[in-house]
Structure 1
Amino acid sequence: MNKVDMVVIGGGPGGLIAAKTAAEKGYSVVLVEAKKDIPKITRTCAQIFYLSHIGGGQAYTKPVRVEIESGGKAKLVLPDINFSVEYDGTLRACYDWRHLSPNGNCVYTSRNKLWGFIFNKGILLKGLLDDVERLGVTVRNQTTCLNAEDTRYGVKVQVRDSKGKTSSIEARKAIVANGVNSRIVENLGLNKTRQKIGTTLSGIGYIMEGIECPYPPSSWISFAYPSISSYINIWMGPMAEGTWQIGTTAKATDSPVNIMNRFLSTSNFAPWFKNAKIARKSAFSITPRYPIEEPVVGNMIIIGDAAAPAETWTQGAIACAYHAVKAIQEGTIKKYIDWWKESFYFNSPDYYKDFARYPTLNMFFKDNELDYLYGLIKNQLVSNIHEELIKHADKIRVERPDIYERLKKIQEISFEDTIKSK
């Protein structure tokens, strides 16, 4: 049985930062990760380092910045805690966030303003993994964490390796960073008090070469196309290497693969993809739950997506790891809980009100109706499409009273109504 100061469960950005930071402070650390190739990205991920957010719902609320150094290196910086992470890969700046209706009417939630950088997450993870191994952290890849329990003297974690052999790791402290739908969170019983938010969602992402997109690769594009996806918009954004990634999310009543096939072959945007090839496919599945209010159980701290409804973003995961290790070192767990509550927008009821507006246009309107609505604010820069349309309520009531009545209903829809099963 291994006995160490700290065991970190999960080898994503949060887990690797936690292991690295703890090792730098002199702790003996074991990192447990289920994947064989830790830097390999197998789950659909937009790989965005947000400087500001203009999408469906904000996550991490503290300031961030990117410092680009000579020689092509960069730092992802969290200035409020004077902490940074080195990154040695390509960055692609994003300035525009375009929302397109079926006939191509475009509305902007960002235009000619830097809101984030696309980065290569695999390169980021590889750099962190190299640091972790250089610092002497024991990395147990291809190892599944089966259970974790608080003990009188610390934590005992049961794991199973790639050959099916089970063993235990004992540590004074544990940081749980194994992502959304964490088995450890479930086994600790924390989900018993976490209400599910709707149903299980599944999604896919295709990294594609040869897309003939008329917009520059500094654009993020959201396609509202109710006849193809009656729930959430299809999205497309650049990858750091120069390709594009396109993806979608579906509830159990539909298949994301079917949605994608329909969009690529039958939509008004199909000509963009006529000569394109799929270079790589990825997928994900998530059962959203409300966040863990106090993500600490005895000698274990749950960080990042494992304690969140979905995403804390890369910077949020990094910040969680930094603060968790600091709290363990200083014995200030209460400070970590307070920081968690104030640093993520999803801990506020307003988050769910904002997010409820994101998919509802697809749920309430047909293709030609969305073309009409987007046409009212075509080429405008807005902070929120639904709120901007409400400003045109008088015109809509006269010209399209049927649309007006449904537009009013959206103001009353709850987050639970937005994502519940049909």
Structure 2
Amino acid sequence: MRERYNVIIVGAGPAGLMAAWRTAEKGLKVLIIEKKTTVCEVLRTTGNAFRNMNPINGEYLTLDKKRDKAVVHFHNSKFDLEYTGRLLDIYDSYSFSNAGYCMRMTRKDRPMSYTFNTRALYQDLKNKAEEVGAIFMTGTIAMGAENLKRGVRVQSKKENKVLWLEADRVIAADGLHSRMVEAMGLNKDREFYVKGPVFETTFEGVEFPYPIGVSSMRGRGMTEGRDGFIFLYPSVEEENAYSVIVQTKFPAHQGPKIIDYFTKESRCAPWFKNARPISRSAAMVTLRSPLVTPYIDKVLFIGDAPAYGETLVAGAIRCGYHAADAVYKELSGEKGFEEYRDFWTTNFEYVKNPNKRADYTRILLLYGYLSEDELDFLYKLAEERGPVEQSGGIDPSNEYTAAHRVIDYFMSFPEVKGELLNKLKVIKSADVQTIMEKRKWKE
């Protein structure tokens, strides 16, 4: 007789692992299907920071450090998560223009964020899930699902063998390029915006000449004339380790070339004179309009799978937490998936509001529509004014507000006038279609 589960979870990222832990903790029989052979291996480039008192998508976090662990508090969702890996306290962020001018944001009263180790986070979640009985099937690709009168059949493939697995409900948490969403036909009505590769190389022995912080670099002098954004993130993998992340366009092979040039020949190359690469990862980022109803019959889509862009790690964990409640309620005869839809549409602002999608990606237009000379001019003015000091309680800056805050700051300079001022006004008011069109026109 074929084994049957209460819930099959597709994908063992932060959303899937949290959902596995929570559903198994509720006494359900849980199977997690993961295409990697090692669950905690990190192959995909991803953000790795817990934001401190910095709300986004209906949630804000704080963190308490203990002797051998930290406790992350999800205040609005009212749950805590233990993390046993290393952390770095981040008090500063930097943006560098092509000519090397630096706009710096800083806090003195508390960290802006805490950089964590993704492998350690995954291991903590996996351990919790296994402790309460969740079963992992690795090296397995979920090809799609079929809703039945009683439950769901998941078609999967392991070692070139097709398997059919059955469950009462399915949670699809297989990421931004969800095979499950595509296989079940839900992408056909989603508007496609843009797609591009991201590459990451982590180096140890980096001699960053500023207090530890997160950085972004703009300009063709940083990329050898290639089109791309560079981000520099502190890494917990080794001492003085930083991850160089490049978001670029096709052809994808230019991404590693940008990293090579940035670390060996750009004005920032001296920071890497004694550094060596210790790990690499990559990702493909696609922006589509989000699914307003993130389920079809007995299959629920969570995390990045139904999202516009990404839900970020903390957001994905939160999706997994609420998805577990939804499945448990469904199997108890309640409308759990409808409740999850309400959570999804109410908290993740870009789901129902196209203006929030524009805000989420507005920063692309700020750095893609202005010329390098204009950005150098603005960054020079910012550098002359010194660091922007942040203080107080909850910080409202996030992906939705960051571009507006930077634009407002630039527009406050008396030296900014004429065509440059008008360009900033265009960027500030652009809708998502205009952002994508102007970025394509620039390209």
Inter-partner Cα distance in structure 1 for 2:380 and 2:186: 46
Shift of 1:15: 0.8
Q: Which amino acid aligns with 1:209?
A: E
Q: Contact (CA 8 Å) 2:30, 2:135: kept in 1 or not?
A: yes
Inter-partner Cα distance in structure 2 for 1:120 and 1:225: 29
Inter-partner Cα distance in structure 2 for 1:240 and 1:118: 7
Shift of 1:138: 1.9
Shift of 1:174: 0.7
Question: 1:222 matched to which residue of 2?
Answer: 216
Q: Percent identity?
A: 29
Structure 2: give runs of 5+ residues left out of the alignment.
Answer: 390-401
Question: 1:284 matched to which residue of 2?
Answer: 283
Question: 1:298 matched to which residue of 2?
Answer: 297
Q: Contact (CA 8 Å) 2:83, 2:121: kept in 1 or not?
A: yes
Please say if 1:78 is aligned against 2:82.
no
- Taking a change above 3 Å as real, the CA distance of residues 77 and 178 of structure 1, as seen in their structure-2 partners, is same
Counterparts of residues 9-408 of structure 1 (less than 5 Å): 9-52=10-53, 60-69=57-66, 71-112=67-108, 113-161=110-158, 163-198=159-194, 200-217=195-212, 219-227=213-221, 228=223, 233-241=229-237, 242=239, 243-252=241-250, 255-330=254-329, 331=334, 332-347=336-351, 348-378=353-383, 379-381=386-388, 384-392=405-413, 395-397=415-417, 401=418, 403-404=420-421, 406-408=423-425
Q: Which amino acid aligns with 1:314?
A: V
Between stretches 180-189 and 351-360, larger displacement belongs to: 351-360
SS at match of 1:294: coil
Inter-partner Cα distance in structure 2 for 1:408 and 1:88: 45
Inter-partner Cα distance in structure 2 for 1:74 and 1:305: 25
SS at match of 1:334: helix
Q: Which amino acid aligns with 2:408?
A: E
1:174-203 CA-partner distances (Å, limit 9, x unpaired) = 1111111100001111111111112x2101
TM-score by length of 2: 0.86
TM-score by length of 1: 0.90
SS at match of 2:350: helix
SS at match of 1:245: strand
SS at match of 1:132: helix
Alpha-carbon RMSD across the aligned residues, in angstroms, is 2.2
Aligned residues: 410
Q: Which amino acid aligns with 1:381?
A: V
Q: Contact (CA 8 Å) 1:288, 1:309: kept in 2 or not?
A: yes
Inter-partner Cα distance in structure 2 for 1:377 and 1:170: 59
SS at match of 1:41: coil
1:272-313 CA-partner distances (Å, limit 9, x unpaired) = 122221111111112221111110111111110111122212
Inter-partner Cα distance in structure 1 for 2:45 and 2:206: 19
Shift of 1:366: 3.9
Q: Which amino acid aligns with 1:371?
A: D
Q: Contact (CA 8 Å) 2:308, 2:357: kept in 1 or not?
A: no
1:106-134 CA-partner distances (Å, limit 9, x unpaired) = 22344334221111111111122222223
Structure 1: give runs of 5+ residues left out of the alignment.
Answer: none
Q: Contact (CA 8 Å) 1:2, 1:168: kept in 2 or not?
A: no
Q: Contact (CA 8 Å) 1:356, 1:414: kept in 2 or not?
A: no
Shift of 1:159: 0.9
SS at match of 1:98: strand
